A and B are shown apart, each in its own frame.
Chain A
Amino acid sequence: MARPLINVPAKVKRGQVFEIKTLISHIMETGFRFTTTGGRIPRDIVTSFSCRYNGEEIFRADLYPAIAANPFIAFFTVATESGTLEFNWIGDNGFAETASAKITVE
């Protein structure tokens, strides 16, 4: 259902440094919250995010409970050649989500 939202420019010039913006729907339950009867709500977060550019990893992040719900991560990369950007989110309870975006480098 809730798919990730990726934002990359459609076309970039070779050598240009461009920004990639990512958003994913996730509750990021910290594991430090309690119910009114004292029970601890178990942790449920995205723990790792990575991006591959034509198969080569260009960015990786380890996320902790302090990252806000619906994690937003933006970073930069150099436009080398046209191809595919692949995004990977891994988290607690077997959470695994992928997304991809095409990039045209002229």
Chain B
Amino acid sequence: MSERKRGATRRAVLIGGLAGGLAATIKVVPARATPEQLHAAIRNVVGAAQVRKGRVELIVPPLVENGNAVSLVVAVDSPMTATDYVKSIHVFNEKNPQPNVIGVHLGPRAGKARISTRFRLADTQTVTAIAELSDGTFWSATADLIVTMAACVEGL
């Protein structure tokens, strides 16, 4: 009788301890953006308009040394005059927890439709840049990037 009780207590302690141990060490992996979220984010910008490939140049390093900071340059072929210019440039990613990277609003005063920044990549994935022109058309370019992890995990 007492032995069974001890066993139950031990089991309870084990389960409690295991749960506690799991809570301390479990690493919840954040959800990554689904393809649907990516398409919804793009549709948010583009609406029902067709997106054509071209006129946009996405310049990224061929191999990413560290996903925490990746150089990004987006350049759009446009004369940037008062009647023919780039209204906005939007960059999207495929596998980060969230599909948007940056949304830039330009105008004829920009002179050149070229922006530079540094962004984060959670994993090897495709990056998409979409430009909206003053005539209402949308143009895009994509780039595939390979992201590697540091070999020695630091922890501090």
Give min CB distance, A15 to chain B, whole Å: 9
Query: Across the two chains, which residue of chain A brings its CB closest to B28?
Result: A34
Chain B interfacial positions (CB closer than 8 Å to A): 23-28, 30, 68-70, 93, 96-98, 100-107, 109-121
Tell me whether B70 and A36 are in contact (CB under 8 A): no
> In the assembly, what is the distance between CA of A30 and CA of B117, in Å?
17
Given contacts A38-B28, A65-B98, A68-B68, contact A74 B116 (CB under 8 A): yes
Query: Across the two chains, which residue of chain A brings its CB closest to B121?
Result: A66
Given contacts A60-B104, A78-B109, contact A73 B116 (CB under 8 A): yes
Beyond contacts A58-B109, A68-B119: 17 other A-B pairs, Cβ-Cβ < 8 A, are A30-B120, A32-B98, A36-B25, A37-B24, A38-B26, A59-B106, A62-B103, A62-B104, A66-B93, A66-B96, A66-B98, A66-B102, A66-B120, A67-B102, A67-B117, A73-B116, A74-B116
> In the assembly, what is the distance between CA of A69 and CA of B118, in Å?
8
Q: Which A51-67 residues have C-beta < 8 A from chain B?
A: 53, 56, 58-67
For B30, B107, B110, B117, the residue with the greatest tally of chain A CB atoms inside 10 Å of its CB is: B117
Given contacts A62-B103, A75-B104, contact A17 B117 (CB under 8 A): no
Which residues in B have their C-beta under 8 angstroms from that of A18? 111
Which residues in A have their C-beta under 8 angstroms from that of B70? 68
Tell me whether A66 and B118 are in contact (CB under 8 A): no
Give min CB distance, A55 to chain B, whole Å: 12
> In the assembly, what is the distance between CA of A62 and CA of B103, in Å?
5
Give min CB distance, A96 to chain B, whole Å: 19
